[in-house]
Amino acid sequence: MNDIEFLADQLQRAYRGEAWHGPGLREVLAGVTAEQARAKPAPEAHNIWELVMHIGAWIWAVRRRLGGDPAELSPQEDWPAIDGGSEEAWQRTLAALDEEQNRLREAIGALPLEGLRAHVPGTKYSVRFMLEGVIQHNLYHAGQIALLKKMV
């Protein structure tokens, strides 16, 4: 397995499982209803729904950055507003997250091996650092979601 394949594998393990640490993001989200996703058990914290949309926003930004776009997120893009709050809207949010995850994996798979050392436009870091960062970001928020899920 080369470094590109390894990073794509780690991204997928953090998302769907078979990770060393435990459940991946989608496993943590299994069974979460729209009502649970909207709940605010910690009033000063983001809820599950907001965290899921935030994760999706950064997956999107990383994919765009792989394509050469600096993809700076506005505060509204970084933390999008919940769309209606219905069960159907929650399922659309999860489907959009799955789509962004799949598109990022495809973009990683299309990278040349030497592309990991390339500088990310608009940043001071490499593509490899960014990809490791998005994996860490997803896991960080998956842990928050796991705690919120227990609280609701």
Q: Long-range contacts made by residues 107-110, C-beta under 8 angstroms, separation at least 24?
A: 107/63, 107/66, 107/67, 108/4, 108/7, 108/8, 108/11, 108/66, 109/4, 109/5, 109/8
**Domain that includes residue 90, residue range:** 3-151
Q: What is the pLDDT of residues 28-38, one digit of tens each?
A: 999 999 999 99
Q: Using one digit for the tens of pLDDT, what is the confidence trace for 100-136? A: 999 999 999 999 999 999 999 989 999 999 999 999 9
pTM: 0.96
For residue 15, give the CATH number of its domain.
Answer: 1.20.120.450
Q: Which pLDDT does position 20 carry in this prediction?
A: 84
Q: Judge residue 6's burial from the number of C-beta atoms within 10 Å of its C-beta, 0-12 exposed, 13-18 middle, 19 or more buried.
A: exposed
The domain tally of the chain equals 1
What is the percentage of the chain residues whose pLDDT exceeds 70? 100
Average pLDDT for residues 67-92, to the nearest whole number? 94
